[in-house]
């Protein structure tokens, strides 16, 4: 694959008036984790994720033509979260605009206002950067498609959206479609690549296509260390090469398990991946621990429940203290009373989010 497959730019009719567009993009939860990247947001290993449905970012972008267009490396914008100006978010968005400028040189022709809000706690390890940058990339792509003078091929549109989202947050590449996405080159997935994510649609048992994800909010505060810092600490990590090899091997195993509908082994592998991610954090230099005591208590109760009830419920973790509880939809009536009784008391203020797999970006 060419290094820059999206540098061939479409012919556009750039409007001379102001306007706006609103999209939503979901978070995602990785089953095979990506932790560690090269320059250009290139992953050190491939990953697979469930796209979520209710944990979404809604982003409205308002654009106003400039009389003197800016250089695309100095795009003019302001950002608001829940209606409140958030200049502290500006550096990451400025970096994003600089990265996408070669692929969307028209962005310098406008002043932008970005209004965003989440349906879930920001910065607490539920991949708000993924949904946020997927929403922003999706909104910009909707504009480009609407301004194109010739029909925009659907595959190109979707792939470019994922490609651009990746330049803001690597895992954002996986929030464009659903219910399962893969990203990063892997020999078991011939169409896989490091530049954008693809939907995983072939050879998957249907039971995984309506999975539930109940997110147990152990700690709703912002995590102590950003994912960007965590990824960078993998550069000199003593176990980095072993971890990348483990993830590649686990991805191949997971594909076989999901094809066979092997729920028991699926649970064991997904939990191993979650704990491997946190092991990398705990053994980096400097090291950090994002799990809380109640995170560990929930893990113990999940494993005991699965063993005693013979119900294939498993946990996974993102880079934070909150626990994603994964299970097939047809077990919901059995699982939810147990969550309310046994697990919600371990959550901050007893709160959890009832979510399930979803389909990706939506234009409102």
DSSP 3-state of 192? coil
Which of 47-61, 216-230, 248-262, 270-284 bottoms out in mean pLDDT, i.e. has the lowest?
Answer: 216-230
DSSP per-residue string spanning 15-55:
-SS-EEEEEEEEEEEEEE----EETTTEESS-EEEEEEEEE
* Over residues 161-174, mean pLDDT: 97
Residue 111 has pLDDT above 60, yes or no: yes
- Reported for 158-164, long-range contacts at CB under 8 A and 24+ positions apart, including other chains, are 159/5, 159/6, 159/196, 160/6, 160/103, 160/196, 161/134, 161/137, 161/361, 162/137, 162/196, 162/197, 163/5, 163/6, 163/103, 163/195, 163/196, 164/100, 164/103, 164/104, 164/137, 164/140
If you average pLDDT over each of 71-80, 129-138, 218-227, which comes out highest?
A: 129-138
Question: Would you state the pLDDT for residue 311?
Answer: 98
pLDDT tens-digit series, residues 194-208? 999 999 999 999 999
pLDDT tens-digit series, residues 32-62? 999 999 999 999 999 999 999 999 999 999 9
Enter the DSSP assignment of 71.
Answer: P
Residue 70 has pLDDT above 70, yes or no: no
C-alpha span between 55 and 138 (Å, rounded): 16
Give which of 223, 226, 317 is closest to 276, Cα–Cα.
317
Backbone angles phi, psi at 21, to 5 degrees: -150, 145
Which of 77-91, 114-128, 264-278, 303-317 bottoms out in mean pLDDT, i.e. has the lowest?
Answer: 114-128
pLDDT band at 150 (very low <50, low <70, confident <90, very high): very high
Task: Please say whether the beta carbons of 234 and 273 come within 8 A.
Answer: no
C-alpha span between 178 and 200 (Å, rounded): 8
What count of other Cβ atoms lies within 10 Å of the Cβ of residue 58?
Answer: 17
Task: Please say whether the beta carbons of 127 and 318 come within 8 A.
Answer: yes
CA angle 101, 104, 107 (to 5 degrees): 80
Task: Please say whether the beta carbons of 51 and 174 come within 8 A.
Answer: yes
Which of 59-63, 126-130, 146-150, 166-170 bottoms out in mean pLDDT, i.e. has the lowest?
Answer: 126-130
CA angle 308, 314, 317 (to 5 degrees): 140
* Over residues 273-287, mean pLDDT: 96
Backbone angles phi, psi at 36, to 5 degrees: 120, 130
Question: Would you state the pLDDT for residue 72?
Answer: 59
Which of 85-94, 114-123, 300-309 bottoms out in mean pLDDT, i.e. has the lowest?
Answer: 114-123
Buried b (16+ CB within 10 A) or exposed e, 302-340: beebbeeeebbbbbbbbbbbbbbbbbbeeeeeebeebbe
Residue 122 has pLDDT above 80, yes or no: no
Residue 225 has pLDDT above 90, yes or no: no
Percentage of the chain beyond pLDDT 90 is: 87
How far are the Cα atoms of 170, 226, 295 from residue 235, in angstroms, in the given order?
16, 16, 27
Question: Would you state the pLDDT for residue 193?
Answer: 96
pLDDT tens-digit series, residues 323-343? 999 999 999 999 999 999 999
* Over residues 9-24, mean pLDDT: 95
Which of 66-80, 173-187, 195-209 bottoms out in mean pLDDT, i.e. has the lowest?
Answer: 66-80
DSSP 3-state of 316? strand
C-alpha span between 342 and 303 (Å, rounded): 13
What count of other Cβ atoms lies within 10 Å of the Cβ of residue 92?
Answer: 17
Residue 223 has pLDDT above 90, yes or no: no
For residue 185, give both structure tokens.
């080159």
Strand 323-327 to strand 314-317: parallel, antiparallel, or no bridges (unpaired)?
antiparallel
Output 120 or 259, whichever has higher pLDDT.
259
Residue 2 has pLDDT above 60, yes or no: no
Question: Would you state the pLDDT for residue 123?
Answer: 60
Give which of 115, 36, 51, 43 is closest to 83, Cα–Cα.
115
C-alpha span between 303 and 312 (Å, rounded): 10
Identify the helix (H) or strand (E) that includes residue 147. helix 128-147
Question: Would you state the pLDDT for residue 69?
Answer: 72
């Amino acid at each position: 694959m060419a290094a820059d497959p999206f540098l061939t730019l479409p012919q556009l009719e750039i409007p001379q008036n102001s306007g706006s567009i609103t999209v939503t993009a979901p978070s995602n939860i990785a089953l095979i984790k990506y932790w560690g990247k090269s320059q250009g947001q290139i992953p050190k290993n491939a990953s697979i994720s469930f796209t979520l449905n209710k944990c979404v970012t809604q982003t409205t972008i308002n654009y106003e033509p400039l009389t003197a267009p800016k250089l695309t490396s100095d795009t003019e914008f302001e950002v608001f979260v829940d209606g409140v100006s958030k200049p502290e978010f500006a550096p990451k968005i400025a970096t994003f605009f600089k990265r996408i400028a070669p692929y969307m040189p028209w962005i310098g022709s406008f002043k932008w206002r970005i209004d965003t809000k989440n349906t879930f706690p920001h910065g607490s390890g539920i991949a708000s950067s993924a949904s946020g940058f997927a929403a922003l990339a999706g909104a910009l792509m909707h504009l480009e498609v609407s301004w194109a003078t010739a029909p925009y091929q659907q595959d190109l549109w979707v792939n470019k959206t994922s490609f651009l989202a990746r330049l803001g947050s690597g895992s954002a590449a996986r929030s464009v479609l659903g219910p399962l996405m893969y990203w990063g080159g892997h020999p078991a997935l011939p169409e896989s690549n490091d530049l954008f994510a693809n939907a995983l649609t072939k050879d998957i048992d249907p039971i995984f296509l309506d999975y539930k994800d109940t997110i147990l909010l152990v700690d709703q505060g912002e995590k102590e260390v950003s994912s960007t810092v965590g990824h960078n600490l993998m550069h000199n990590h003593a176990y980095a090469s072993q971890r990348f090899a483990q993830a590649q091997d686990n991805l191949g195993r997971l594909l076989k398990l999901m094809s066979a509908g092997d729920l028991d082994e699926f649970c064991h592998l997904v939990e191993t991946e979650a704990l491997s991610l946190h092991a990398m954090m705990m053994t980096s230099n400097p090291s950090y621990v994002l799990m809380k005591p109640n995170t560990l208590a929930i893990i113990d109760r999940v494993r005991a429940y699965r063993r005693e009830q013979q119900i294939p419920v498993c946990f996974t973790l993102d880079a934070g203290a909150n626990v994603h509880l994964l299970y097939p939809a047809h077990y919901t009536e059995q699982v939810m009373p147990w969550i309310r009784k046994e697990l919600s008391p371990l959550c901050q203020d007893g709160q959890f989010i009832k979510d399930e797999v979803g389909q990706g970006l939506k234009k409102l």
